[in-house]
Amino acid sequence: MNAFESMHVISKVLSANDVGETGAHQAGILVPKDPGVLSFFPKLENNRKNPRVHLKFIDANGKNWFFAFIYYNNRFFGGTRNEYRLTRMTPYFKENDLRPGDEVILHEDVNGERYIAYKRSISSHQIRDGILLIGKEWKVIKIKEY
Domain that holds residue 128: 8-140
- Three-state secondary structure call for residue 53: strand
CATH (domain of 132): 2.40.330.10
Whether 114 is in a domain gets the answer yes
Give per-residue pLDDT as tens, 57-87. 999 999 999 999 999 998 888 888 889 999 9
Kindly report the average pLDDT of the chain as a whole number.
Answer: 83
- pLDDT for 3 beyond 70: no
Whether 3 is in a domain gets the answer no
Do residues 92 and 65 make contact, with C-beta atoms less than 8 angstroms apart? yes
pLDDT of residue 137: 56
How many domains is the chain built from? Answer: 1
pLDDT of residue 79: 83
Whether 65 is in a domain gets the answer yes
Q: Provide the CA 112 distance to its chain's centre, in angstroms.
A: 18
What global pTM score does this model have? Answer: 0.77
- pLDDT for 142 beyond 70: no
